[in-house]
Structure 1
Amino acid sequence: MPRSLLLLNRGSGGNERGLQAEQVCETVVAAFLEKGREIDTRIVEPGKLDAALKDAVKAKPESLIIAGGDGSVSAAARHLGGTGLPLGILPMGTFNLAARDLGVPLDIKEAAAFLAAAEVHAIDVLDAAGHACLCTTILGFYPEFANTFERRDHGGRWWKKTLKLITSLPRTFSESRPIRLTWSGDGAEGQARTKFSAFVPGRYQATTGIVPARTDFTSGKMTAYVGRQRHAAAALRGMLDYIFGRQEANPELTMFQASNLELHAGKKKRLSVMIDGEILRLPLPIKLTIQPKHLHVLTTAEKLAPAE
């Protein structure tokens, strides 16, 4: 039986929190051995992850564990989607949204033990202009804001970063220009002037918390959250609604579901977009398509159960 393979991205934000790559590899090997399984490890230098992922897919290990942040996970999903090769996530980023969604503990030792015993399940993937999105695709002021913020404050503790983002939001939101967003596809058509819009495979749970949690991993649908707030005060109210699980009742939020969409932004030819933490300049129109059960992941059936 082929061994599993761990690819650790040395450039992930977790390395700046004191996580030593070699020690992480040893922890994962020990956890797998405890479950009677074997795993090879490889530390990947920044900029070489895509090449390492291509090699890994050709090698066909029992499963591939990616140790990194959400950007690394998205890259892995792009390569593994449709291959049947199971993907496990070892959280070494800042927010680790994909790992949280799949129920992977944030502590490295606990995460390694979880992955060694996890089951293989298929989940939907959102294809965002050819990029694999497991968590969220964001338009508006936030991608440019987060790009500047990340260059200055890469890595670190997620909760500290979240507080900094929240306190910096009012001024940035006020100064940003709205996008004349129009969308069509799968029976959903509309338009809005928006400073913040998110497109999520599945949907967000209406629960209290700062970090978003998703559900409906195999619904075959994405949920669009198009904010129509124009002023900072309204944006802050919207953020508080989200934190307390009231986002679906916000009168300045347009929500709808679709399996595919085409997005336009007035006369703009390109738009800054954040896909699972990675900021890209994408040509318009931007096509979003749900790929049902496109990716196999290591988790448990309980974690993928739809929220009530």
Structure 2
Amino acid sequence: MRKSILLLNRGSGGNDRGLKPDEVCATVTTAFREIGHRIESKIVAPEKINAALQEVVKIQPASLIIAGGDGTVSAAAKSLSGTGIPLGILPMGTFNLAARDLGVPLDIPGAATFLAKAEVHAIDVLEVAGRACLCTTILGFYPEFAKTFERRDHGGHWWKKAFKVITALPRTFAESRPIDLTWQGDGIEGRARTKFSAFVPGRYRATAGLVPARTDFTSGKLTAYIGRQRHAAAALRGMLDYIFGRQEENPELTMLQASSLELSARRRKHLSVMIDGEILRLALPLKLTILPRHLHVLTTAENLAPAK
């Protein structure tokens, strides 16, 4: 019987909340062994994650359990996409968006038990300039803003960071430089002056809450949410609409769906982009493409059911 592999990112934000790597590994090992699964644990430094992932692909384990934040999960998704190796997500980051989307409990014992018993399902992946996006790709003021507070407040609790975003939004939004964004793909094209745009594999659920939740994991489509708000007050109203699940009703939001899009920005050759929590400086034009059912994950059919 093939064994599973647990890779734990020693530099994940969860370590700042008192999650001890050795104890996390022991908890996962116990959960898997209790139902007859073999698993081997490896604690890896952040700079060695990609090399460790390459080794995992060579070994072809029964599954890979990745313990870390959304950036670590995105790296694992990129390495495992198209390989057929199932990916399980052990939430040790701040927001843990991918884990939430797949219904993984946020406490380590609960997550370990869930992953040990989960089924294998295939989901879409959004490829962004050769990188894998499982949750969301963001352009505009937020990547630069997030870069500042991440340097100061790495790790910690998700609700504290969410509160900082909300309270700092008016000033940060007002000071940010707008993007003259153009897009084309699937026979559609358009243009907007935007300070915040998000691109999601599938789409967001129209439900209340601070943390976004996705649906339509196998639709073969991405959804673009392009904000046209010019002023901080309008941006704050847009955020409140999102918090209360009314984002699709906002008159200053352009929504569209496509299997692929190419993004450009007038007078710009590069943009700061946040892909699943990782902030990058990427060249334009920027190509976004859905890879249908390209990644196998550990979850349940119920968690992947489309929103009604």
Same fold (TM over 0.5): yes
Q: What runs of 5+ residues in structure 2 fail to find an aligned partner?
A: none
Partner amino acid, structure 2, of 1:51 = A
Number of positions where the alignment pairs a residue of Structure 1 with one of Structure 2 = 308
- 1:146-204 deviation line (CA, Å, top 9, x unaligned): 01110010000001111011101110000001100000011221000000000000000
- 1:191-235 deviation line (CA, Å, top 9, x unaligned): 000000000000000001100000000000000000000111100
* SS of residue paired to 1:138: strand
* SS of residue paired to 2:36: coil
Structure 1 residues 167-178: aligned runs within 5 Å: 167-178=167-178
Contact conserved, 1:102 with 1:304, CA < 8 A, in 2?
Answer: yes
Q: Which stretches of structure 1, 4 residues or longer, exceed 2 Å deviation after superposition?
A: none
Partner amino acid, structure 2, of 1:145 = F
* Partner residue in 1 for 2:271: 271
* SS of residue paired to 1:103: coil
Structure 1 residues 68-83: aligned runs within 5 Å: 68-83=68-83
Taking the aligned partners of 1:153 and 1:166, their CA distance within structure 2 comes to 16
Q: What runs of 5+ residues in structure 1 fail to find an aligned partner?
A: none
Contact conserved, 1:201 with 1:221, CA < 8 A, in 2?
Answer: yes
Contact conserved, 1:177 with 1:195, CA < 8 A, in 2?
Answer: yes
Structure 1 residues 96-107: aligned runs within 5 Å: 96-107=96-107
Contact conserved, 1:67 with 1:89, CA < 8 A, in 2?
Answer: yes
Contact conserved, 1:188 with 1:256, CA < 8 A, in 2?
Answer: no
1:64 aligns with 2:64: yes
Structure 1 residues 121-132: aligned runs within 5 Å: 121-132=121-132
- 1:102-145 deviation line (CA, Å, top 9, x unaligned): 00000000000000000000000000010100000000010011
Structure 1 residues 7-46: aligned runs within 5 Å: 7-46=7-46
Partner amino acid, structure 2, of 1:236 = L
* Partner residue in 2 for 1:286: 286
Give the deviation of 1:33 after TM superposition.
1.0
* Partner residue in 2 for 1:6: 6
Partner amino acid, structure 1, of 2:212 = P
Taking the aligned partners of 2:163 and 2:192, their CA distance within structure 1 comes to 29
Return the TM-score normalized by structure 2.
1.00
Taking the aligned partners of 1:102 and 1:45, their CA distance within structure 2 comes to 26
Percent of aligned positions with the same letter in both sequences? 77
Partner amino acid, structure 2, of 1:268 = R
Return the TM-score normalized by structure 1.
1.00
* Partner residue in 1 for 2:239: 239
Contact conserved, 1:215 with 1:307, CA < 8 A, in 2?
Answer: yes
- 1:62-105 deviation line (CA, Å, top 9, x unaligned): 00000000000000000000000000000000000000000000
Structure 1 residues 46-195: aligned runs within 5 Å: 46-195=46-195
Taking the aligned partners of 1:72 and 1:188, their CA distance within structure 2 comes to 33
1:252 aligns with 2:227: no
